Amino acid sequence: MDKYRVKPGSKVNLKKWDPDDRSEFDLSKEERDEALYPLNRKLETLQELLYAEGKHKILIVFQAMDAGGKDGTIRQVFEGANPQGVKVASFKKPTHKELSHDYLWRVHKHTPANGEIAIFNRSHYEDVLVVRVEDLVSKKVWKKRYEHINNFEKMLADEGTTILKFYLNISKDEQKERFEERLDKKEKNWKFSLGDLEVRKKWNNYMKAYEDMLEKTSTKYAPWYIIPSNRKWYRNLVIASIIIDKLEKLKMEFPEPQDDLSGVRIT
């Protein structure tokens, strides 16, 4: 899966990252539906271990264009995880109060504590994406943010946070199909807004902003992964595998009991 990691300092041209790639799992239709289940169970066990051990903090960031699949990924990859140890933070348009602080203020309080997994559905990266493309602050201001963000994430990593960042890479055609489904199905209408079409018109500007973000903020301590996401089943398998691999490398163990339990009998 390392081929999806953006190597620190490398150039990123998103045209060269195939959103339809499925080279890691070439599965039949029947196999696809079954394949995620064992990974969900593994993740469930690792998360319980993380919670019980209480030594590590995990931060997982998801960024994508509209309809890129952030919600679905979170729902499907973390299916079965214990809600006590997994917190999802969704970052929407900042409130007046949030805007009156620095842009990391609202983010920091959602970072994980020991034993927790924090999942960011959008993140501080919006402050170099939508904010840049829509000219919400001047270039002079947003240009400095890549360095702030790297420093912020370095601090989190130094303090014991394992950070994984996923860009869900869909094509413009795939977005069209997903928007059409949101329009056609009454129960999906709520996910669609006319503003999404305005953003879609600026697709190329967004791609440029994403490329810069991926180049400037993929670090050893907080790597970006570009996930082929046109196929939802493939996206889920790749992301679940990367997270499992990272958690396994932490070599976690269930804690020793506080008391000597040998010979204890429950009467």
* Total of residues contacting ligand ATP (CB under 6 A): 14
Among 191, 200, 208, 232, binds ligand ATP (CB under 6 A): 191
Residue 161 tokens, joined: 């946070």
21, 116, 127, 174: which one contacts ligand ATP (CB under 6 A)? 127
**119 sits near ligand ATP (criterion: CB under 6 A):** no
Is 92 a binder of ligand ATP (CB under 6 A)? yes
Point out which span in 45-53, 62-70, 167-175, 246-254 binds ligand ATP (CB under 6 A).
62-70
Closest distance between ligand ATP and the C-beta of residue 7, in Å?
27
Q: Which residue has the tokens 């994508």?
A: 64
CB of 148 to ligand ATP, least distance (A): 14
CA angle, 210 as apex, 93 and 143 as ends, to 5°?
Answer: 75
- Our CB check for Mg ion shows the closer of 66 and 127 to be 66
Q: Are 246 and 185 in contact (CB under 8 A)?
A: no
- CA distances 9 to 127, 169, 267, Å, are 21, 20, 63
Taking the complex as a whole, the smallest distance from the CB of residue 182 to ligand ATP amounts, in Å, to: 8
The Cα–Cα gap between 122 and 151 comes to 19
- Which C-beta is closer to Mg ion: that of 57 or that of 132? 132
Choose the contact partner of 157 out of ligand ATP, Mg ion, none; CB within 5 to 8 A by kind: none
Nearest-approach distance from CB 253 to ligand ATP, in angstroms: 37
State yes or no: residue 174 binds ligand ATP (CB under 6 A): no
Please identify which residue in 5, 87, 110, 122 interacts with ligand ATP, judged by CB under 6 A: 122
Q: Does 153 bind ligand ATP (CB under 6 A)?
A: no
What is the dihedral sign for C-alpha 212, 92, 85, 80? Answer: negative
CB 60 within 8 Å of CB 77: no
Q: Which residue has the tokens 């570009």?
A: 226
CB hemisphere CA count around 187 (13 angstroms): 0
CA atoms within 13 A on the CB side of 6: 30
Residues that bind Mg ion (CB under 5 A): 66
Contact 238, 73 (CB under 8 A): no
